[in-house]
Every structure is written in structure tokens, then in C-alpha cells.
Structure 1
Amino acid sequence: MKFDEYTNLANRIAESTKYLTKLPEIYTIISSTYNKKAFDIPKFVYEFPKIKIPKIELPRISFPKIDFEEVRKITANNSKYGWTLTGEMLPRDYLNRELIDMSAEETDAYFYSYYSYEDENGNLPNYKDAQKTIIDTIDSRWTSLVEECFKCYELGIFKVAIPNLIAIIEGEISLIANNNLIGARLLNSWKKDVDIESNKFSAIAMYSVFHFFQESLFLSRNFDEERPEVINRNWILHGRDDPSLWKVEDYFRLINTLSALQFVKDILNDEAF
């Protein structure tokens, strides 16, 4: 009997229950007459592999301990030169260990590189993020003026924006502190109401802002003394500074500060709830 005939017979037997008992005999004949290769039965049909599923264990992740003393050193150095921690800035960019011992020029170069970084499309993503943060949350009375400051940078006349940015910064401080004092008195009054001493991340951000204001921007210095190393609110708004010494880094320094103040608003709003 040929193979096809055996197959047909097996099918007929399967259709009739009375021949069920003959199935083992039929398949024994088929398997003994035709070898596996001729029968062409795929291996997986008659042989199922034993699959051993490995035990899955989640890796143990060890988070490094934060050295807040080092964090404060980095923050103190950065903010002394006018570079504060903003909401859109990644901590790794701001808290870079290499910044601890950098000079004013080196620190300026680092953060200028951050804000002037161009992507593959020729955009400045870090600067654009800061612009968006400012426009989205700044007090509405400043919106038009700050947009004109942005335009000044685009036109290459950033020096025009510098006194205006300082005025906007002081206005934002007054709004956040909810008082009408000016200059250093405004700053000292505000400082009493916020946490800049704890190890919380929000306190580090607040500390960076206050340290810049106290050590540089609002620092009181007689006008017959040597010009401050970092731009100074009093020297600029009272007409004692030399605009020829204003740099593009100063523009970005004030953009950074204005963005940081928007971050301060978010922090204080979160702490209020």
C-alpha cells in the first residue's frame, strides 16, 4: 500500500468512532514503513523542546550620596559671577565639578557656551528654553519690554537691553517679595522670608539667586572705587558704568537671572500649598 493510501485510510478511520481503536496500529505501520525524512514531519510537531525560563531579578541600584558641601561650593562660585540655577537647566550642567575653581572669565565662557549652543538646525535650544520660561511666567507688564530685549540681541545691539533687563529683574523681585523697597533693602527684606540654608534642591536654587544679588548685582560700592568685576545694578542704573565694557556674556547673565526668578516663583508657589 502506498503512503497516500495509508493517509486516506487514517482519515477515514478518524471519521468513524468504531475504528478509533485501530489508529495506533495504522500510525505504527506508517512510521515503520516510511522514515522521518520521507514522512517529512517537522521536528517541532513530534518533539517539543523543554524551555527553561530564567529567574528575573531586578538590579540593585545604588544612588550616590549627594555632597551638599560640594554643591554649595559650586553654586557659590557660579552665582558669584552671576550664573544662577534655573528651572530649565539640568543640574548636571549647573553643578559641574570643574566649575569650582574656575575664574570669572572661565565661568563666563562655560555658561556662554551653554546659552549659545546651536543644534543641527541652527537653533539655540537652551536660550530658547529660557526665553519661553520668561515669557510664559513673567508679570504681564514686562512682556512687551522683555520681547524687545530679545530683539536687541537678535539685531546685535544687546547693550541696549542690559539696563532694561536690570530694571525688569528688580521689578520681579519686588513682585515676588511683595514690597516696594528698592535695591539692597528690597533684597534684605525678601531674604528673611525664604529658605536658602537647607539642603533641599529648591534652597540651592534660591541660594544661587541671593548669592549673586548680594555679592555682585546689588553690591554697594562707591563710584570712585574700582569698577566691580561683574556688572552692578547701582553702577549701571546711576550712570556710573562704562557701556563699552558690557559684553554679550552680561546679556546672557541677566537672561539667566530673569529665568531663575521665574523658577523662584514656582518654588514659592509649590511651598505655599
Structure 2
Amino acid sequence: MDSDTNIQDQLKIFREGVKTFENSLEAFKNNCIEAGWSTNGFMLPKEVVIISKLETEDVVNTYFWNYFMCNNKEHYRVLNNSIICSQIDGKYIKLYKECLFAFEHEKNIICLNSLFPILEGLLRKYVNNDQFISVRNICSDLLKETPDYAFSLERKSWEINQGIINKIYKYEKLSTVEPEFINRNWLLHGRSTYNVTSLDCLKLMNLIGTLSNDFNRKTRKSIH
């Protein structure tokens, strides 16, 4: 009898944990998009719950900055190694290493502007298309291909990627006030005030890392 009771108690705790995780996913996604932080689809459930409860963009930014830069920069080093050792084109690896040099010497404008070709080249690798094609459309099509099942962090990860890329590539008239979030149009058309921070650079590096990891997984699946 005691054994049956113990099993029931454990099942109850498990169901409550699943419910908490399920309820956290949407808030987690919204917080990540709002602040501009992608995820690789393999975050621990407890991290998802923590991020879902963060109340402001500044607090989310602080959480992710500390995630990468604390503990002897362990996650930062893992991020960079995953990109450098990925299966993206060698020319982008070369450019990324120069971006790293710029980032670590606080040359944030050079770093951020140089990350865009890597991001766009990586997205075009997904569709194997060197012709002009909308980056936002590529991401939208990839999202449609991602299974939509319960508690899917992979699905949520791609929804976050889509949301961030929509913000980065959102058309903003150059005659208006410059957007607060990273905007490719303003940066690469020379209209930005270039108040670029290390935080901006790390967000784009993280997005590239997320996409390169996913590309590696898809490549391995196609081989097998």
C-alpha cells in the first residue's frame, strides 16, 4: 500500500512539473523574442521556467549575459567553439574569428556589421539557394517544417528565431527615429548612430550559434 501511495505521489509531482513547464513555454518564448535571445532547443526545463518568470527586458538581458560571461565564460566558449567547428562554409568561419577578435577588443560596430553576412549565408545554406531570397521567408518556411507537438522546445526555438529575425529585418523608414533593437537596414545603410553595445553583438553571435547547431543536426540526419 505504501509503495502504491509513493508511486501516486511521484506521478502527481511529475504531472505538476509538466504543467508548470507547459505553462512556462509561451512566456519563455515571448521574453526571448522581446529581448532578442535565441535558444538552441536544448535548454533545461528549469532554465525555461526561470526565464519565463523574468519581468523586464533588462532582467532577461542580464540573465543571458551572465549565462555566457560568468563561470570563466564557459558557455561563451562553448558557443564560439560550436560555430567554429560547425559545418558552415569556411569563409564564414574565417569572418567569425575576426568578429570574435573585434568583440573581445570592444570594436562592437565592426563586429556587429560583420556578423550579418554570416547570418544570411547560414540561412541560405538551409535552402541551398545562392539566389536572392528573403531571409524572413527562409525562416518562416523552416518553421513550417518543424514538428508542432506538445512541449517541443525545438518548435519554440524556431518560433523564437523567427521572431528575432523579423525584428532584425523589419523594414523601418530611414527618415524615422532609429529602432532601439538591432536593425539591419539602419546599420548597413549607414543611417545608424552606431551606439552598438557588446550585448547587441552577443545576441547576434548567439543567434548564429543556434542556427549553426540546428544546421549541423539537420545535416547529420540527412546523412543517416
Query: Does the 8 Å contact 2:54/2:60 carry over to 1?
Result: no
Q: Which runs of 5+ in 2 are unaligned?
A: none
Question: Could you list the per-position Cα deviations for residues 184-218 of structure 1 after superposition, in whole angstroms to 9, with x for gaps in the alignment?
Answer: x232144224327543221111111111111x111
Change (3 A) 1:182 1:239: farther
| In the alignment, structure 1 residue 107 sits paired with structure 2 residue 67 | no
TM-score where L is the length of structure 2: 0.80
Equivalent position to 1:204, from 146, 153, 156? 156
Structure 1 position 264, deviation (Å): 2.2
Residue aligned with 2:26, SS: helix
Change (3 A) 1:181 1:239: farther
Equivalent position to 1:81, from 14, 35, 42? 35
| In the alignment, structure 1 residue 149 sits paired with structure 2 residue 99 | yes
Equivalent position to 1:254, from 199, 204, 207? 204
The letter of the residue matching 1:105 is: D
Residue aligned with 1:242, SS: coil
Larger radius of gyration: 1
Distance 2:174 2:55 in 1: 28
Structure 1 position 81, deviation (Å): 2.1
Query: Does the 8 Å contact 2:39/2:210 carry over to 1?
Result: yes
Residue aligned with 2:205, SS: helix
TM-score where L is the length of structure 1: 0.67
Q: Which runs of 5+ in 1 are unaligned?
A: 1-55
Distance 1:70 1:88 in 2: 15
Q: Which position in structure 2 is the counterpart of 1:125?
A: 74
Q: Which position in structure 2 is the counterpart of 1:217?
A: 168
Distance 1:258 1:229 in 2: 21
Greater RCO structure (CA 8 Å; 6+ sep) = 2
**Structure (1/2) with the larger helix percentage:** 2
Residue aligned with 2:18, SS: coil
Query: Does the 8 Å contact 1:177/1:190 carry over to 2?
Result: no
Q: How many residues align?
A: 209
Query: Does the 8 Å contact 1:223/1:240 carry over to 2?
Result: yes
Distance 1:106 1:153 in 2: 22
Calculate the aligned-residue CA RMSD, in Å.
2.7
Change (3 A) 1:204 1:75: same
Distance 1:170 1:236 in 2: 15
